[in-house]
């Protein structure tokens, strides 16, 4: 049977996934149409596509989620098919059906398959019929909290109470006793109705020490379905994936085969025709149970591409065009190890609050040596507040897991983002953690290891003296650069110092708890030998580097080892270095400068106890108090929205409102004053 490939497709999405689809389509010789909101008119996916059409105002509910606008854009541009990416309308049964009715090919599964897998209760019934392992529980909607308690007692604690229409961690509670089951049921039902307009709730056994393992499947219109091994997505924060890898360090070949065959069985049961993902929860005894099926391309699909050599977007397009899969299960090889880090625009040191604004500097690592960067942004571009926080996906591939981890560490060290905050320091810290390195983790890993959040001191430098040596090298290179200035008097030329004092500690720039290291530097045969002395010993670091003042990435070989990459900045008289997620701030002073520094007064930070400051850039959606109002601790004061996240600000103590300093609808900056108290 011969098929006709599309000449033009429309991508009903934005950001990195839109760019990702465009690249594959171009390689296949297919023209592309981008759609964009008013906030995205300068976006990268708009620039990359052959055509672009505006579909509405900035909020997604007025643009990317408006089916009529997208279908009309297909008609206006002559696009024969639409790729939905992920998120937005990608799993919307109605949209897939509308496309089919309008004669537009939906590059994804048929709408009936989406409908069958879209409801958690219905999908579990189908999974049981297809002989797929399901978690013990009651999959019928439960009406009363008393019933929930009885059911939980029958299953055996702990149990998981889940909303049928839930997702992203909403409408989910874990109960370990009758009281928690009663209260959790009520809370889940309320949250589900508020978030999804559907208050159906069911209960199932909570698997202890759980891993989140998913199987990638691919089906065509001829009834052929294959599985493309597994992905381990257990590193999660608040039910959102952070690091994904393929294969899993936990799964053995027998379990992998059993999970894959069950995933294929489920896909065949719903006549699945596209790329899809069957998600499982796997216990510490390797027992596995069906969670749900995602009827779309996954964010983490590149790790599967890394270990199989397949382009999943290409396969989706070919299947949608009516082509038969060109390979069988036996022909799919598992090659090496792949890993992905999601690089998000949020601030890990402010409890991961969104960070929006202009990308003053954006320099991802080079896409060489099996390093890949999927991104939808560029240097100088804006990160808008209206959409999710993803900046890029950083993907690496190695011969084994250790090599993949090492490549990812190096790539994170080289990933430069300035102007906004990113979660790179957090990702780098995770890559260093002994439990992650050993593969001994589950979905509770981040909550267990960082119970009080992620702080700047959550990861410490493995060798602070090495960073002090690098700072000394930087200072010496700056002085060498200054010495090149013209017009120096003969006989009075600048002499570059060789002895320094590196001052670091809890408060660099004050005399409070300083930590001092004496350093000395020598240059011979292009090697800078830095001697670092503390009260106990002297350490020598031989540094070879072509780094020049002003460069953000300092690449160096130290003591003959392979090159490391640290991100470095000079901030006034201070030096800021970041290596493997560890932050190091210091001053590199002369011996006289260090003595004077010890005598400097401490600068007291301003008193902000009577101010309510914006914790993140965003839209001020609500002011809940008025001037003169008496408020009590815990009372709601205001609400700020950014990147699909609402942050409610509450009073930390009793007080009286003196002044409202912002207006509802204002776009706020970080630390902008909202309310002032008397």
Question: How confident is the model over 156-201, as pLDDT tens digits?
Answer: 888 989 887 766 566 788 999 999 999 999 888 888 887 778 888 8
* Res 510 pLDDT > 60: no
In this predicted structure, which of 10-24, 303-317, 459-473 has the lowest mean pLDDT?
A: 459-473
pLDDT-derived band at 315, boundaries 50, 70, 90: very high
pLDDT computed for residue 111 by the predictor? 96
pLDDT band at 77 (very low <50, low <70, confident <90, very high): very high
155 CB contacts (<8 Å, ≥6 apart)? Answer: 136, 137, 138, 203, 204, 205
Angle at 43 between CA 37 and CA 45, to 5 degrees: 95
Rounded CA gap, 677 and 657, in Å?
A: 5
Mean pLDDT of the chain, nearest integer = 92
* pLDDT at residue number 521: 96
Where do you find CATH 3.30.470.20 in the chain?
110-135+211-335, 337-448
Report, as an integer, the average pLDDT of 468-484.
93
Widest Cα–Cα separation across the chain:
93
Task: Specify whether the CB–CB gap between 530 and 469 falls below 8 A.
Answer: yes
| CATH code for residues 110-135+211-335 | 3.30.470.20
| pLDDT tier at 2, thresholds 50, 70, 90 | low
Q: Residues of CATH 3.30.1490.20 domain(s) within the chain?
A: 136-205
- pLDDT attached to residue 492: 76
**Residue ranges, CATH 3.40.50.20, the chain:** 8-107
CATH 3.40.309.10 fits 337-448, yes or no: no
Mean pLDDT of 549-565: 93
Strongest mean pLDDT among 118-132, 390-404, 578-592? 390-404
State the average pLDDT over residues 611-615.
93
Tens-digit pLDDT profile for residues 29-46: 999 999 999 999 999 999
Q: Is 208 considered catalytic here?
A: no
CATH class of the domain defined by 136-205: alpha beta
Percentage with pLDDT > 90 across the chain: 74
Residue carrying structure tokens 């267990």: 448
| Model pLDDT, residue 167 | 61
The rounded percent of the chain whose pLDDT value lies above 70 is 98
- pLDDT given at position 164: 78
Q: How far apart are CA 348 and CA 364, in angstroms?
A: 19
The pLDDT value recorded for residue 628 is 93
Task: Classify domain 464-598 at the CATH topology level.
Answer: Glycoprotein, Type 4 Pilin (3.30.700)
Q: Which of 188, 196, 101, 201 is nearest to 143 (CA)?
A: 201
String of b and e for 638-665 (b: at least 16 CB within 10 Å)?
bbbbbbebebebebeeebebeebebeee
Does 133 have pLDDT greater than 60? Answer: yes
pLDDT (mean) for 114-139: 88
| pTM, entire model | 0.87
- Which position among 292, 300, 414, 516 bears the catalytic label? 292
Q: What pLDDT is stored for residue 225 in this prediction?
A: 98
Whether domain 8-107 has CATH 3.40.50.300: the reply is no
pLDDT attached to residue 121: 78
Work out the pLDDT band at 512, boundaries 50, 70, 90: low
| DSSP annotation of 563 | P
Q: The tokens of 220 are what?
A: 């065509």
pLDDT for the residue numbered 156? 85
d(Cα 42, Cα 37) in Å, to the nearest integer? 10
For residue 359, pLDDT over 60 is answered with yes
Which CATH number applies to 611-677? Answer: 2.40.50.100
Q: Out of 97-106, 616-625, 640-649, which region has the weakest mean confidence (pLDDT)?
A: 640-649
Mean predicted confidence (pLDDT) in 103-109: 98
pLDDT tens column, 200-250: 888 988 888 899 999 999 999 999 999 999 999 999 998 899 999 999 999
- Give the C-alpha separation, 22 to 18, whole Å: 6
Collapsed DSSP state (helix, strand, coil) of residue 59: coil
Q: What is the model's pLDDT at position 207?
A: 86
Question: Per-residue pLDDT for 549 more than 70?
Answer: yes
What is the arithmetic mean of pLDDT over 570-583?
Answer: 91
Cα separation, 586 vs 143, in Å, equals 61
Residue 506 has pLDDT above 60, yes or no: no
Q: How confident is the model at residue 599 (pLDDT cuts 50, 70, 90)?
A: confident
- Closest alpha carbon to 207 in 158, 139, 154, 259: 158
For residues 366, 36, 33, 29, the Cα torsion angle rounded to the nearest 10 degrees is 10
User: What is the bridge-based pairing of β-strands 51-54 and 31-36?
Assistant: parallel
Give me the mean pLDDT over the 102-112 stretch. Answer: 97
pLDDT of residue 513: 55
Instruction: Print the SS3 string covering 589-647.
Output: ECHHHHHHHHCCCCCCCCCCCCEEECCCCEEEEEECCCCCCEECCCCEEEEEEECCEEE
Domain(s) of CATH 2.40.50.100: residues in the chain:
611-677
């Amino acid at each position: 049977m011969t098929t006709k490939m599309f000449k033009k497709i429309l991508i009903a999405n934005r950001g990195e996934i839109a760019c990702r689809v465009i690249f594959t389509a171009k390689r296949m010789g297919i023209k592309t149409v981008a759609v964009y909101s008013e906030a995205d008119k300068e976006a990268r996916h708009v620039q990359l596509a052959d055509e672009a059409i505006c579909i509405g105002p900035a909020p997604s509910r007025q643009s990317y989620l408006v089916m009529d606008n997208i279908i009309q854009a297909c008609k206006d541009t002559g696009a024969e098919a639409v790729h939905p990416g992920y998120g937005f309308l990608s799993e919307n049964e109605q949209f897939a059906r509308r496309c089919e009715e309008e004669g537009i090919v939906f590059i994804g599964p048929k709408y009936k398959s989406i409908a069958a897998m879209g409801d958690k209760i219905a999908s579990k019934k189908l999974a049981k019929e297809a002989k797929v392992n399901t978690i013990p529980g009651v999959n019928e909607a439960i009406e009363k909290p008393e019933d929930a308690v009885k059911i939980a007692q029958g299953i055996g604690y702990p149990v998981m109470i889940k909303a049928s229409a839930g997702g992203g961690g909403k409408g989910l509670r874990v109960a370990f006793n009758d009281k928690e089951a009663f209260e959790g049921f009520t809370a889940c039902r309320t949250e589900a109705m508020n978030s999804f307009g559907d208050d159906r709730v069911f209960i199932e056994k909570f698997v202890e020490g759980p891993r989140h393992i998913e199987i990638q499947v691919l089906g065509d219109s001829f009834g052929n379905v294959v599985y493309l091994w597994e992905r381990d997505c257990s590193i999660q924060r608040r039910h959102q994936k952070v690091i994904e890898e393929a294969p899993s360090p936990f799964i053995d070949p027998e379990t992998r085969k059993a999970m894959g065959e069950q995933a294929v069985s489920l896909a065949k049961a719903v006549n699945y025709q596209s790329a899809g993902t069957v998600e499982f929860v796997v216990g510490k005894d390797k027992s596995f149970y069906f969670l749900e099926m995602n009827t779309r391309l996954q964010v983490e699909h590149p790790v599967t591409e890394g270990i199989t050599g397949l382009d999943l977007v290409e396969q989706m397009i070919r299947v949608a065009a009516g082509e038969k899969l060109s390979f069988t299960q036996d022909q799919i090889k598992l090659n090496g190890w792949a890993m992905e880090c999601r690089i998000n625009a949020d601030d890990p040191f402010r409890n991961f609050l969104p960070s929006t604004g202009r990308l003053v500097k954006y320099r991802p690592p080079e896409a060489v040596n099996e390093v890949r960067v999927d991104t939808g942004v560029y240097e100088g571009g804006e990160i808008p507040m209206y959409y999710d926080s993803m900046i890029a996906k950083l993907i690496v591939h190695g011969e084994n897991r250790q090599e993949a981890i090492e490549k990812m560490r190096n790539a994170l060290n080289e990933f430069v983002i300035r102007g906004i905050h990113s979660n790179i320091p957090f990702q780098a810290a995770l890559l260093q953690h002994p439990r992650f390195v050993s593969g001994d983790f589950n979905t509770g890993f981040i909550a267990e290891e960082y119970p009080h959040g992620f702080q700047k001191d959550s990861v410490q430098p493995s060798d602070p003296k090495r960073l002090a040596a690098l700072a000394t090298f930087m200072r010496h290179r700056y002085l060498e650069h200054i010495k090149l200035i013209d017009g120096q008097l003969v006989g009075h030329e600048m002499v570059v110092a060789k002895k320094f004092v590196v001052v670091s500690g809890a408060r660099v720039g004050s005399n409070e708890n300083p930590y001092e290291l004496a350093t000395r530097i020598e240059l011979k045969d292009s090697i800078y030998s830095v001697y670092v002395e503390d009260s106990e010993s002297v350490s020598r670091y031989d540094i070879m580097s072509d780094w020049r003042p002003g460069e953000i990435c300092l690449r160096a070989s130290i003591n003959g080892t392979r090159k490391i990459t640290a991100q470095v900045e000079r901030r006034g008289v201070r030096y800021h270095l970041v290596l493997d997620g560890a932050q190091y701030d210091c001053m590199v002073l002369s011996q006289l400068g260090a003595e004077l520094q010890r005598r400097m007064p401490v600068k007291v930070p301003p008193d902000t106890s009577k101010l309510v400051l914006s914790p993140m850039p965003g839209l001020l959606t609500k002011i809940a108090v008025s001037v003169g109002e008496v408020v009590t601790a815990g009372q709601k004061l205001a609400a700020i929205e950014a990147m699909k996240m609402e942050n409610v600000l509450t009073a930390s103590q009793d007080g009286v409102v003196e002044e409202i300093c912002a207006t509802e609808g204002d776009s706020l900056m970080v630390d902008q004053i909202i309310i002032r108290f008397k």
